[in-house]
C-alpha cells in the first residue's frame, strides 16, 4: 500500500484550501480505510457503522457536518486566532489574588512547554519508559517539601482552591469523620472559599469563615473543629505570625492547613516550621504563564504522619530488578480506580506538565536566583509603599511580601479614581471596594513599570510626579524578623547545577530521552484517547496574547478569550446534543463531581434534596464512585452481564429499590468494556422513571462524535475530557479539562464564580479557582474542532472505530477478545483477556505490558476495567502501518508465550518475565547474561526495531519495595556523595 | 564546587534586571573561573589575559563595555524585537523574482526549525553520530534529482545567484579554462546577473547578457562559449521551450545551465529531460519563510559526467564496518580545505537546515500534495489573467506557471496607478517599469487574497467590481503541451509515507535521535566556536513580523529590519574597530571572496588593478586560497616557524619579491594553530609597505572581542562568521553569515545590489542574491550582542580563553600540545599532536576521534590545520564540569592507548581501532563479539556514561567504498523491497 494524504481525493474545487487539517489528523488514507473495511467484510464505511452503532441512537448525518461546524484550514485557524488574540488587551495586571505574571525562562518555554516530547506523554503508569518525567516530578516534590519545610509533597493537584478543598476533606477524614466543622480565615482567597463551600456541602462539612485570630475563642467551634485554613501571606498581602494559633488549633485536636506562596517562602519562615500540617498553593509564579487562569500546578504537602492519606499522585524512588535506583508512581493503591467509593478524593489527571515547568524554573534559578528574585520583588514593593505613602495614601498592611492594600480616601474621592488613572496606563489594579485598591508585584515588574505605577497613583492623588526618584532605598524589610526564613532550602545538587542555558538545555533533553511519548510510537491506552496533539493547535497557546492574561481582568479586556470560550461551548453543545456547557472543571473527575453536584442542586430546587443514591456499574472508572461520594451520594453498584452489557434487570431492581432516594445513574458510553450497548436508552428510561438523573461519563466520546450523542442516548449531563476526545495533550499526567454539558433543565445550576459571573441563575458554587478553569488550553480544543469541522470530526470518530475493529480482527485467533456486540463489532477500543496465560504459563498482564516495551510500544491500559485484561485504543490518528506494527508485536509476543507454554522457555526466566530489557542488561557479558534467549531476541524481536527502537532505561521496577520504603524527594548531596 | 548563576555576584543594585543573559550564556561561574585561574597560576583574570594576549594589540578596556554597547535583559530584548518587528509592515507580496511566500507546515516549523536538536549540530563531519541529518540531506538530494530529472544533486548551495555563478564557473572549468564567454539570457533574475558579473570578473570570464533565442547566431560568441544560462520559467513568468536551443548549445560544445523553480517542475517538463547539464535554483518555496531574503537553500544538480566537479557538499551512501548501510559526506577530497588554490569554489558552510526543511516539506506533501499545490497556484494565476484581461489589461506572457507580466497602458495612465491601488490593500506587486507590473502567485494565496488582487486591478482600471465571480473556470492550462511534465517524480518510499502529522512528527524525531548536537554535549570543534545558541535569540526569528518579509519590499515597509541591520553593522564595526560593514555575504567563505574583491576594486580605483598576488600562510583555512583564486588572485604561500608563528622573514622575502603585484595578505588571528602571535602588527606593516592590503580571516574573532580587534592588529578588511562568534546556530552545516567589516578607505567599495541601494558609492557588484544576504538570521547575532552588552561580550571572550587554557593544562602530560606562546598560553583553542601514537601504536587521529564518540563527545576538528593534530575549542559556554568531563575522557583514552603501546591490547583489534561501538555491536553474542575487551569497557568507559550516553548508530564508515560507489539518493522502492 502506497500512502497518500489521508483523504487522497482531489479537492472538490480548486478553490479549496490545501492545508486542511483532517488530512493530517486522521492516520489512514482512503485506500487504507477501504482495505481495512474489506478485511472486516464491509463494502462501505456506512455499512460498517451500521453494524457497530445501535440504530436507535444514531443521529442524522448532517447534525455534525461542515454545515453545522465549518472547517478552517490550519492557516485560516491561525489567522482567526491572531485576530481574536488581538481582542485580549495587553494590560499589565497587578491584581494578584493567587495569580502573578510569570517570567517563563525561554529555554523552558521552548524545550518543555513547546516540546511534544514533554507535552504528549501520558501519566507515567509505565515507569520503565518514563524515568525522565518521573525524575522531574520528584524534583517538583522536593522543591515543594524544601520550600514549605514539610515532610512529603505530591506531584501536583488541579489548582489552589481544590487543593484547599482536599486539605479540608483530609482534616475531616483525619478526625475520623467525626468533626464536622472546618474553619477558614476570612483573608483566604475568595475563590478558594467558594470552592470550599461547594466541597463542604457534599461531605456535610460545616464551613465557617471568620477571623482566625479570634474564632478559636468559641468553645463550640473548637469542639467540632477538624481544621483551620490560613493564607500566608493573606489576600490583603498581610503576613501574620500563626505560630501561637497553630498551637491552639493542635490543642483542640484539629489540623492546621496553610495556603501559601512559593516565592514568599524563600524569605519567610516556612509553614512547616511553625506548625502547619498541610501546606498548599499554586506554583504558577515559578515560570508558568497566567493563561487567563490556568492550567497551573497546585502543590500539596503534609507531615509524615499524614502521608498515606494524601490525595493525588505521589512519585517515589524504588529500585529495578538489577538493583538500580528507579522512580515510579508510589502508593498506587491509593489511586481512585482502586479505592472507588472508599475514596475521599477523585484526583486522576492532575497538572504534571505545569509541575515540571515549575520544577525546571527552580532548577534554572537555584536557591540563590530565587532569593534574588524574591528580594527584588519585595524591594520594589517597599518602594511602592513608601511612594504612595509620600503621596498621602494609607497602606493598610504593615508586614508584607509583595502585596499592598491601599486606602485611597486620604487623597482621592474613591477607589474608582485610582482605577481610572490605572486604566489610562493600561494597568489593572485589584478592585477591593470603594475605598481601597490592591497592588501585587511580581518578577515581571521592571523599574519602568514601577515608575508607571507610582505615577498613576500620583495622577490619582493630583500629587507631584517623580516621587520614586526621591524615595530612599528602604533599610530593612517589611517581613517581621520573627518570620524571616533562617533555614536553607533547595540545597540538593539538582537545584545547584543547571544554571547556564546550555546545562539546562541538556538536562531537559536528557530527561526527555528517557520517556516514550507520541513522538515515538502509538500509545494505545484504552480510555485515554491518545490522538494527535497537533502543532497548529499548540502554537497559539504560547502567544503572549493568550499567555499573559489575568483571570480576573475586566471582561472588556478579554473579548478574545470570551469569544473562543463561547464558540467552544457552543460546539460542545452541538456535539453532545445538550443545551449548555461549563468549562470550569479542570479534569474529567472534576467534571463528574461538578455534574453530580449540579444534579443535586436541581433536585434540591425541586424539594428532592434527600435523593442521595447513585447507581454505578461495576465496570465504571474509579473516579465515578469517588466523585459520587464527594457529591454526598451513596454508591450502589449495578451488575453487568457476562457479555459485558449492563444488566438491565439488575438496574431496574436497584432503581426500584432506591426509588425514593434515587439521585443519579452514572454510565460510560460506549462502555468501559469497549462496546456500544444496545440498552443505553432503556437504561436511561428506567432511571428517569424512578426520578433519577443520568450522568454520562464522556471519556469515550471519541466513539460518538457525529454518530450519536449523550443527549440522544438519554443522558441529562455529561463531562468531556478535552484531553482525550478534543486533543489537549496529556502533558505526562495533566493538564486536563473536564467541561460539563447539560440538558436545559440543569442549565441554571452550572457553576458560578465569586469574582465574575459564570453559570446559570441558580448556580452552584465554584468548582475551580479559575472562572473558566484552565482557560488557556481551551484554545487547543477550540482549534481542534474548528480545524476538523463537522465532517472531519465525524471522519475522526468513524476512523477510530474502524482502526479498533481492524485491530480486533487482527488479534482474534491470537488473543481472547472479551466483549463485542451482536454483529461482532467493538467500539473505539477493545478489551483482550490474558487470564488464560496465567494458568498455562504463569504470565500476568504486567508481563505482556513490560514485554511490549521491548517492542518500542507503550502498553495499553492494564488490568482495568478487568484485572486480567488489556484495554487497547488505537485512535484515528494512527496509520494502518502503525496498527499493523502493533498487531505484529502482539502476535509475536503470543509466539513467545507458546514457547513458555510448551516448556521451551522456563516459566521464571523468559522474555516476558524478564521484560523490559534495558540497555544495561544488553551489555552484560554472556556469563552474567544468563538467559535462555539471545540479546537479539530480547531487544530486536522484530526487524523494524533495528531502525527504530525506544529503550527502557531501567529494568522492571519493584513496586512493593518502593511502597515499603517510601522516598519521595531527590537524593541529597550527602546521599549522592556516598553512592 | 557548587554551581551558581554564572556571575554569582549580587546584582549591583536591586533595580537590576534579573534575566540578564551573560549569567546564562557563560558556562563557568565566578568561583569556577577563580578555580581555573588558580590552577593556571594566575591570581586574576587580568594577569591571565596579560600573559595570553600580546600587549601591543590590546585595546582599552572600555572600548567594548556596557558603556559602548549597553546590555538588555532577555525580556527587554524581546520587547525591543517586538517593537521593531511592528515596524515591518505586513504587506502581502506578489513580487516573486525568486522569492515566494511559503506555507511552513507547523509540524516542521516547530520540530525542525525551532528544535535545537536540528538547529545546533555542526556539519556532519562525524557521520556515525549524524545519520539523521545525513539521511535528511540525501532526501533533499533525491528530491532535487527527481524534480529536475538530473543524475546527481548536492546538499545545497548558498542562494540561487551564487549557485548560478558556480554553474558558470563549472562551465568554464569544463571547457578546460579555454572558453571565456558565458552567456546569460536577459530574462534571468537581475540579482543573479549581478552576482554573475562579480564572479565573472574574478575568473576573467566574459559575461554576455542578451536574448538567448538569437544570441547563438553570433559565430564569435559560439566559438568561445562555455555555457548558457536560462531561467525556466523566466523572470517575466514566461515558459519557453529550450529543447532546440539546448541542442544548439551542445552543438557548440558548451553547457546548458538552467535556473528553475521546484514547484513549477511538478507540472513542467524537467530541464533534465530537455538537455540541461546543470540545473539550479532556490528551494525556499518548499516551506522556508522568505525572511527578507534568506537564509534559503539553493539547489544544484548536474549530469553524471559532471558529478566529480560539482561544487558544494555531497552526501553519499556507503557502509559501515559491520556491513550496514550508512550515510556520509562523499568525495570529501573535493572540500576546499584540501583543494586550496586548486579549487574553483570556496563553498564550506552552506544551507543544511533550510535544505532539511525543504526536504521535510516534500516528504510531508508527497508528489500528490505537491502537484495539488502547483495546480492550485496555476489555476489561480489563470483566473487572475482572465480577470485582468476582462478589465482591459494586457498580459504579456502567454505560457506561464504562476507569474504574469501585465501591460497596464490599455486602461491606466501608468504602472504607478496600479501600485497605488495595491498599496491601499497592503499588497506589493512587482515594479518593472512605468508601463508594466508583475504578479507572482504562490501557495499562500487564498481565494480571498485573489479577490483582493482582482479588485485592486479593477480599482486601478476604474473597472467593475466582482469580475472574479464571472470568470469561467479555465479549461486547459497555460503550460504548453510540449512542456507538460509526463515523467513521475518522488516515487521513493520516503516521499510517500509520512503524510499524517503523527507520522511526520515521528520521522522528524527519529532522525534527530541519531544526531549528536549541542543538546547532548560539548562540540569542541576547533575554529567552529560551538557556543550556546540561546533560545531568546532564536525566538523572534520565527515571528511572522520577520519571517514573512519579501527582500524587495519597499524600504518604508521594512524599517524594523533596517534598524536591526544598522545596529548590528554598527556594533560589528565597534567590535572590529573598522569603519563600515556589509552583511551581504552568506558564509565566511563568501565574506573572504567579497573582502578580496573589495580590495581589488580599491586597488583598481587607484590604477593598481594589476596587483594580483595574495600571500597566504600554509596554515590557512582552505577557503582562503580558494577565495583568492576566485577573486582572480595568484596564491603565494608563506611559511610558518616550527613554533607555529608566521615566518616574518619569509613574509618579507615574498612581499618584496612580489612587491609590484602584491595585492593582499590573508591571515587568521589568533592563528589557526591557536596562538596569539606577537608579530601580527609587524606582518601587517610589511604588507602595507609593499603596497598590499591585509585581509583578516575573522573565524577566530571569539578570542578577540574586547581585548583586541582586527583594525588594531593592522588589518584593512575582515569577515566575521556570525555562525561562530555571534551565535547563529550551525544548523548541521548552515545557515551562516559572513559579513565583512572594512577600514574607511575600502568602505566605498562594499557590495551593491541591483534592486536596492546597499554598499558604497563605488560599490562592487552583488555578492549574494539578497541585498542583506540571509537577513532573518541577522536577528540572532543582533540579539546576542544586545543581550550580552559590551561587558558580557568581553567576559565571553575572556572565559573562552580561560576554558581553553585550563583544558590545555589538564591535557598536558597526557598529550603533546603543539603550540603555545612564550608565556605558555594558548588562545581560545588548542592543537594537540597525535603523531607519536602512529609510530608506537599504529593509531591515527581518526581512531582518537571515533573513540571520543564512544564517550559521548563530538570529536574536535581533526587533521586540520595539521594532519596529525586535533584542534580543540571549548568556548565560553561550557562549564568547568563539562570541560573536566571532556578532559577525563581524553585522559582515559590515553590510558587505553598505553595498553596498546604496551602490547596488552593488539594493534589491530582494540578500543580505538574498533571505535565507535554502536548498539548493534553491543548485542552480539560473545562468540561474535570477539574482542579483547568487554562490552562495558567499549560502551561505558566512564561512570557518568551510565546515566548519559549518546550512542553512535553505525560503526565506522568506509569512506573509500562510498567514494568508489557513489550513490547519492535514497533507496528506490525496488531497492528497498529487494533488501
Ligand atoms: C472512563 C473514565 N472516566 C473518568 C476519567 C477521569 O478523567 P480525568 O483523568 O480527566 O480526571 C477517566 C480517565 O481516564 C476515564 O477513563
Ligand atoms: C579559519 C576559517 N576561515 C574560514 C572559514 C570558512 O567559513 P564558512 O564555513 O562560513 O564559509 C572557516 C570555517 O570553519 C574557518 O575555520
Ligand atoms: O487515567 C486513568 O485513570 O485512566
The DSSP string of A958-969 is -HHHHHHT---S
3-class secondary structure per residue, A889-913: HHHHHHHHHHHHHCCCCCCCCCCCC
pTM: 0.98
Mean pLDDT of B409-437: 98
Task: Write down the mean pLDDT value for chain A.
Answer: 96
- Which residue puts its alpha carbon closest to atom 12 of ligand 2? B699
Tell me whether A446 touches chain B (CB under 8 Å).
yes
Q: What is the mean pLDDT of residues A733-754?
A: 98
Query: Is the C-beta atom of A589 inside 6 A of ligand 1?
Result: yes
Report B:109-138 residues touching A (Cβ under 8 A). Answer: 109-111, 114-117
Q: Residues B476-505: pLDDT tens digits?
A: 999 999 999 999 999 999 999 999 999 999
- Cβ atoms B494, B970 nearer than 8 A: yes
> Which residue matches cell numbers 474509579?
A622
Ligand nearest to the CA of A332: 3
Q: Is the confidence at residue A154, as pLDDT, over 80?
A: yes
Measured in degrees and rounded to the nearest 5, phi and psi for residue A267 equal -115, -20
pLDDT in the model for residue B938:
97
Quick check: A501 and B107 CB within 8 A? no
Which ligand 2 atom sits nearest the alpha carbon of residue B347? 11
Q: Which residue of B has its CA nearest to A531?
A: B502
- The predicted pLDDT at position B274 comes to 98
Task: Report the length, in residues, of chain A.
Answer: 979
What is the distance between the alpha carbons of residues A541 and A291, in angstroms, rounded to a whole number? 8
> What is the spatial distance between Cα B678 and Cα B696, in angstroms, rounded to a whole number?
15
The contacts found for A482-486 with CB under 8 angstroms, 24 or more apart, are: A482/A241, A482/A243, A482/A269, A483/A239, A483/A241, A483/A268, A483/A269, A483/A399, A484/A267, A484/A268, A484/A269, A485/A265, A485/A266, A485/A267, A485/A268, A485/A269, A485/A270, A486/A269
pLDDT over 90 (residue A884): yes
Residue B474: its pLDDT value, please?
Answer: 87
| pLDDT (0 to 100) of residue B15 | 82
Of A216-230, A333-347, B185-199, the poorest mean pLDDT is in A333-347
A376 φ, ψ to 5°? -65, -45
- pLDDT digit string (tens) for B880-906? 999 999 999 999 999 999 999 999 999
Ligand nearest to the Cα of B673, by number = 2
Measured between beta carbons, the chain A residues lying within 8 angstroms of B376 are 11, 14, 18
For ligand 3, atom 3: residue with the closest CA = A348
- In chain A, residues 26-45 whose CB comes closer than 8 Å to chain B: 26-27, 29
Q: Is the pLDDT assigned to residue B557 strictly greater than 60? A: yes
Lowest mean pLDDT among A123-132, A621-630, A735-744, B9-18: B9-18
| Interatomic CA distance for residues B150 and B122, integer angstroms | 28
Could you tell me the distance, in angstroms and rounded to a whole number, from the CA of residue A654 to the centre of ligand 1? 25
Q: How many CA atoms lie within 13 A of B706 on its CB side?
A: 27
Ligand lying nearest the CA atom of residue B733: 2
Which stretches of A770-851 are assigned E, i.e. beta strand? 816-817, 830-833
**Residue contact B925–A935, C-beta within 8 A:** yes
Rounded to the nearest angstrom, the gap between the alpha carbon of residue A275 and the centroid of all alpha carbons in its chain is 30
CA distance B533 to B784: 9
Q: In this complex, do A926 and B926 lie within 8 Å of one another by their Cβ atoms?
A: yes
Round to whole Å and give the CA distance between A111 and B181: 53
**pLDDT band for position A298 (cuts 50, 70, 90):** very high
Q: Could you report the per-residue pLDDT of A450-481, keeping only the tens digit for each?
A: 999 999 999 999 999 999 999 988 889 999 99
Mean pLDDT of all residues in A315-331:
94
| The pLDDT value given to residue B340 | 76
Grid cell listed for B465: 467590481
Q: What is the largest CA-CA distance in chain B?
A: 93
| Average pLDDT taken over every residue of chain B | 96
Q: Residues of B with CB below 8 A from A443's CB?
A: 18
Please report, to the nearest 10 degrees, the dihedral formed by the alpha carbons of residues A975, B1, B5, B9 taken in order: 130
Beta strands of A777-858 (E only): which ranges? 816-817, 830-833
User: pLDDT at position A5, please?
Assistant: 56
Identify the residue among A106, A448, A542, A955 best suited for mutation to test binding to B, counting B beta carbons within 10 A and taking the highest: A106
Res B6: pLDDT: 53
- Min distance B682 CA to chain A CA atoms (Å): 40
pLDDT digits (tens, 9 = 90+) for A66-107: 999 999 999 999 999 999 999 999 999 999 999 999 999 999
Section B546-552 average pLDDT: 97
By percentage, how much of chain B surpasses pLDDT 90?
93
Using the beta-carbon criterion (under 8 Å), do B5 and A499 form an inter-chain contact? yes
Average pLDDT over residues B338-346: 80
Query: Which of B440, B499, B483, B530 has its CA nearest to residue B232?
Result: B483
pLDDT tens readout for residues A580-631: 999 999 999 999 999 999 999 999 999 999 999 999 999 999 999 999 999 9
**Chain B window 896-955: which residues touch A at a Cβ cutoff of 8 Å?**
919-920, 922-926, 934-936, 939-940, 946, 948
Question: Least CB-CB distance to A499: which of B6, B19, B520?
Answer: B6
Query: C-alpha cell of A356?
Result: 515540571
Phi, psi of B645 (to 5 degrees): -75, 155
In whole angstroms, what separates CA B238 from the centre of its chain? 31
pLDDT score of A333: 59
Which residue from A582, A722, A445, A501 is spatially nearest to B27, judged by alpha carbons? A501
Helix (H) / strand (E) element for A778: namely helix A775-811
Stretch B421-439: mean pLDDT = 98
Distance from CA of A890 to the nearest CA of B (A): 21
pLDDT at A336 over 60: no
Cβ of B446 and A17 within 8 Å?
yes
Rounded distance from Cα A787 to ligand 1 centre (Å): 25
So what's the pLDDT on residue A1?
47
**Distances in whole angstroms, Cα of residue A205 to Cα of each of A169, A192, A246:** 8, 15, 21
A738 lines ligand 1 (CB under 6 A): yes
User: CA-to-CA distance for B896 and A95, rounded, in angstroms?
Assistant: 64
pLDDT of residue B1: 47
Indicate the pLDDT class of residue B4, thresholds 50, 70 and 90.
low
Q: How confident is the model at residue A334 (pLDDT cuts 50, 70, 90)?
A: low
Hey, is the C-beta of A745 within 8 angstroms of any chain B C-beta?
no
Closest by CA to B199, choosing from B616, B590, B737, is B590
Distance CA A300, CA A312 (A): 9
| pLDDT for the residue A858 | 98
| Contact list, B109 vs chain A (CB under 8 Å) | 535
How near does any CA of chain B get to the CA of A942, in Å? 14
CB B736 less than 6 A from any atom of ligand 2? yes
pLDDT at A338: 55
What are the cell numbers at A412? 482621592
Q: What is the pLDDT of residue A342?
A: 82
At B31-81, the pLDDT tens digits run 999 999 999 999 999 999 999 999 999 999 999 999 999 999 999 999 999
Nearest to B595 by CA among B564, B624, B574: B624
pLDDT digits 0-9 by tens, B502-544: 999 999 999 999 999 999 999 999 999 999 999 999 999 999 9
Residue range B907-923, pLDDT digits in tens: 999 999 999 999 999 98
DSSP letter, residue A436? E
B 373-402 near A (Cβ less than 8 A): 373, 375-376, 379-380
- Residue A285: name the closest of A479, A105, A502 by CA: A105
Q: State the ligand closest to the CA atom of A626.
A: 1
Phi/psi of residue B206, each to 5°?
A: -95, 110
CA distance A299 to A782: 28
Calculate what percentage of chain A has a pLDDT beyond 70: 98
Banded pLDDT at B13 (limits 50, 70, 90): confident
Query: Ligand 1 centre from A340 Cα, in Å?
Result: 13
A372 touches chain B (CB under 8 A): yes
pLDDT confidence bin for A964, thresholds 50/70/90: confident
Angstroms from B267 CA to nearest CA on chain A: 16
Rounded CA separation B851/B853 (Å): 5
**pLDDT surpasses 90 at B343:** no
> Which residue has a Cα nearest atom 5 of ligand 1?
A588
Q: How far is the CA of B698 from the centre of ligand 2 (A)?
A: 9
- Cβ contact B691:B608 at 8 Å: yes
Residues of B in contact with A373 (CB under 8 A): 18
- pLDDT at A341 > cutoff 90: no
- B10 has pLDDT over 80: no
Q: What is the ipTM of this complex?
A: 0.97
Residue of A nearest to B27 (CA): A500
Query: Which residue is closest to A509 within chain B, CA to CA?
Result: B519
Q: What is the pLDDT of residues B263-284, one digit of tens each?
A: 999 999 999 999 999 999 999 9
pLDDT of B144 above 80: yes
Start-end of H helices in B61-130: 74-85, 106-108, 116-119
Over residues A397-403, mean pLDDT: 97
Amino acid at each position: 500500500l502506497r500512502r497518500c494524504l489521508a483523504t487522497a481525493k482531489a479537492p472538490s474545487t480548486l478553490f479549496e484550501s490545501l492545508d486542511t487539517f483532517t488530512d493530517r489528523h486522521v492516520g489512514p488514507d482512503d485506500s487504507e480505510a477501504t482495505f481495512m473495511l474489506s478485511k472486516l467484510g464491509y463494502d462501505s464505511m456506512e455499512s460498517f457503522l451500521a453494524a457497530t452503532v445501535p440504530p436507535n441512537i444514531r443521529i442524522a448525518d448532517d447534525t455534525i457536518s461542515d454545515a453545522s461546524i465549518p472547517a478552517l484550514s490550519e492557516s485560516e485557524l491561525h489567522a482567526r486566532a491572531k485576530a481574536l488574540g488581538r481582542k485580549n488587551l495587553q494590560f499589565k495586571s497587578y491584581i494578584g489574588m493567587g495569580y502573578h505574571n510569570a517570567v517563563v525562562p525561554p529555554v523552558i518555554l521552548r524545550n518543555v512547554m513547546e516540546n511534544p516530547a514533554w507535552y504528549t506523554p501520558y501519566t507515567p503508569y509505565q515507569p520503565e519508559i518514563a524515568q525522565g518525567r518521573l525524575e522531574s516530578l520528584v524534583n517538583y516534590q522536593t522543591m515543594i517539601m524544601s520550600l514549605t519545610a514539610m515532610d512529603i509533597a505530591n506531584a501536583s493537584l488541579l489548582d489552589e482552591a481544590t487543593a484547599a478543598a482536599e486539605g479540608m476533606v483530609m482534616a475531616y477524614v483525619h478526625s475520623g469523620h467525626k468533626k464536622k466543622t472546618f474553619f477558614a480565615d476570612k483573608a483566604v482567597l475568595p475563590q478558594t472559599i467558594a470552592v470550599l463551600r461547594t466541597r463542604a456541602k457534599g461531605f456535610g462539612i460545616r464551613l465557617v469563615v471568620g477571623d482566625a485570630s479570634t474564632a478559636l475563642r468559641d468553645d463550640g467551634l473548637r469542639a467540632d473543629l477538624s481544621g483551620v485554613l490560613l493564607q500566608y501571606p493573606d489576600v490583603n498581602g498581610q503576613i501574620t505570625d500563626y505560630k501561637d494559633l497553630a498551637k491552639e488549633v493542635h490543642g483542640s485536636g484539629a489540623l492546621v492547613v496553610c495556603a501559601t506562596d512559593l516565592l514568599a517562602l524563600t524569605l519567610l519562615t516556612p509553614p512547616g516550621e511553625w506548625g502547619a500540617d498541610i501546606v498548599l498553593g499554586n506554583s504558577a509564579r515559578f515560570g508558568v504563564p497566567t493563561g487567563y487562569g490556568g492550567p497551573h500546578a497546585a502543590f500539596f504537602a503534609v507531615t509524615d504522619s499524614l502521608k498515606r492519606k494524601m490525595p493525588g499522585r505521589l512519585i517515589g524512588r524504588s529500585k529495578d530488578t538489577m538493583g538500580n535506583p528507579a522512580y515510579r508512581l508510589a502508593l498506587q493503591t491509593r489511586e481512585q480506580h482502586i479505592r472507588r467509593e472508599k475514596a475521599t478524593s477523585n484526583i486522576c489527571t492532575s497538572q504534571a506538565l505545569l509541575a515540571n515547568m515549575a520544577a525546571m524554573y527552580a532548577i534554572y534559578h537555584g536557591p540563590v536566583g530565587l532569593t534574588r528574585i524574591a528580594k527584588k520583588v519585595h524591594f520594589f514593593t517597599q518602594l511602592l509603599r513608601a511612594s504612595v505613602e509620600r503621596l498621602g495614601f494609607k497602606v493598610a498592611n504593615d508586614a508584607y511580601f509583595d502585596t499592598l492594600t491601599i486606602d485611597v480616601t486620604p487623597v482621592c474621592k474613591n477607589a474608582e479614581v485610582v482605577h481610572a488613572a490605572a486604566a489610562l496606563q493600561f494597568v489593572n489594579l485589584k478592585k477591593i471596594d470603594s475605598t481601597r485598591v490592591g497592588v501585587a508585584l511580581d518578577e515581571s515588574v521592571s523599574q519602568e513599570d514601577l515608575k508607571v505605577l507610582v505615577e498613576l497613583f500620583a495622577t490619582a492623588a493630583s500629587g507631584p510626579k517623580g516621587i520614586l526618584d526621591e524615595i530612599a532605598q528602604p533599610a530593612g524589610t517589611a517581613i517581621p524578623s520573627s518570620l524571616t526564613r533562617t533555614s536553607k532550602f533547595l540545597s540538593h545538587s539538582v537545584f545547584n547545577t543547571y544554571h547556564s542555558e546550555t546545562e539546562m538545555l541538556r538536562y531537559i533533553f536528557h530527561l526527555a530521552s528517557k520517556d516514550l511519548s507520541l513522538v515515538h510510537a502509538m500509545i494505545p491506552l484504552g480510555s485515554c484517547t491518545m490522538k494527535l496533539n497537533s502543532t497548529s493547535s499548540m502554537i497559539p497557546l504560547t502567544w503572549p496574547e493568550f499567555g499573559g492574561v489575568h483571570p480576573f481582568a475586566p471582561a472588556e479586556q478579554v473579548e478574545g478569550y470570551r469569544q473562543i470560550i463561547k464558540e467552544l461551548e457552543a460546539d460542545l453543545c452541538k456535539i453532545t446534543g445538550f443545551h449548555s456547557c461549563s468549562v470550569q472543571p479542570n479534569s474529567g473527575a472534576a467534571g463528574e463531581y461538578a455534574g453530580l453536584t449540579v444534579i443535586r442542586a436541581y433536585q434540591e430546587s425541586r424539594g428532592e434534596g434527600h435523593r442521595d443514591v447513585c447507581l454505578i456499574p461495576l465496570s465504571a472508572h474509579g473516579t465515578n464512585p469517588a466523585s459520587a461520594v464527594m457529591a454526598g451520594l451513596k454508591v450502589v453498584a449495578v451488575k453487568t452481564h457476562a457479555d459485558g452489557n449492563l444488566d438491565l434487570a439488575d438496574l431496574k431492581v436497584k432503581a426500584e429499590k432506591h426509588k425514593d432516594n434515587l439521585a443519579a445513574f452514572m454510565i460510560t458510553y460506549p462502555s468501559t468494556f469497549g462496546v456500544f450497548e444496545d440498552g443505553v436508552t432503556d437504561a436511561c428510561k428506567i432511571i428517569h422513571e424512578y426520578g433519577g438523573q443520568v450522568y454520562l461519563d464522556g471519556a469515550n466520546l471519541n466513539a460518538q462524535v457525529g454518530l450519536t450523542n449523550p443527549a440522544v442516548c438519554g443522558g441529562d449531563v455529561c463531562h468531556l475530557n478535552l484531553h482525550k476526545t478534543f486533543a489537549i495533550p496529556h502533558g505526562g499526567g495533566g493538564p486536563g479539562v473536564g467541561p460539563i454539558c447539560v440538558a436545559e433543565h440543569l442549565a441554571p445550576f452550572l457553576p458560578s464564580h465569586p469574582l465574575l459571573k459564570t453559570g446559570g441563575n441558580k448556580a452552584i458554587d465554584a468548582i475551580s479557582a479559575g472562572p473558566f478553569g484552565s482557560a488557556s488550553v481551551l484554545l487547543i480544543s477550540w482549534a481542534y474542532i474548528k480545524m476538523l469541522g463537522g465532517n472531519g470530526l465525524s471522519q475522526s470518530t468513524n476512523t477510530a472505530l474502524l482502526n479498533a475493529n481492524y485491530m480486533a480482527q487482527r488479534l482474534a485467533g491470537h488473543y481472547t477478545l472479551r466483549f463485542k456486540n451482536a454483529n461482532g463489532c467493538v467500539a473505539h477500543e477493545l478489551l483482550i483477556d490474558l487470564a488464560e496465560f496465567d494458568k498455562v504459563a504463569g504470565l500476568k498482564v504486567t508481563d505482556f505490558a513490560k514485554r511490549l516495551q521491548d517492542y518500542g510500544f507503550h502498553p495499553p491500559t492494564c488490568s482495568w476495567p478487568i484485572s486480567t485484561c488489556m484495554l487497547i485504543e488505537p485512535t484515528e490518528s494512527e496509520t494502518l502501518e502503525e496498527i499493523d506494527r502493533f498487531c505484529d508485536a502482539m502476535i509475536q509476543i503470543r509466539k513467545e508465550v507458546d514457547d513458555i507454554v510448551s516448556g521451551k522457555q522456563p516459566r521464571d526466566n523468559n522474555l516476558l518475565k524478564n521484560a523490559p530489557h534495558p540497555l544495561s542488561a544488553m551489555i552484560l557479558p554472556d556469563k552474567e547474561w544468563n538467559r535462555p534467549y539471545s540479546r537479539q531476541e530480547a531487544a530486536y524481536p522484530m526487524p523494524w526495531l533495528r531502525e527504530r527502537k525506544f529503550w527502557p532505561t531501567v529494568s522492571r521496577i519493584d513496586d512493593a519495595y518502593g511502597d515499603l520504603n517510601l522516598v519521595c524527594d531527590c537524593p541529597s548531596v550527602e546521599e549522592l556523595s556516598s553512592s
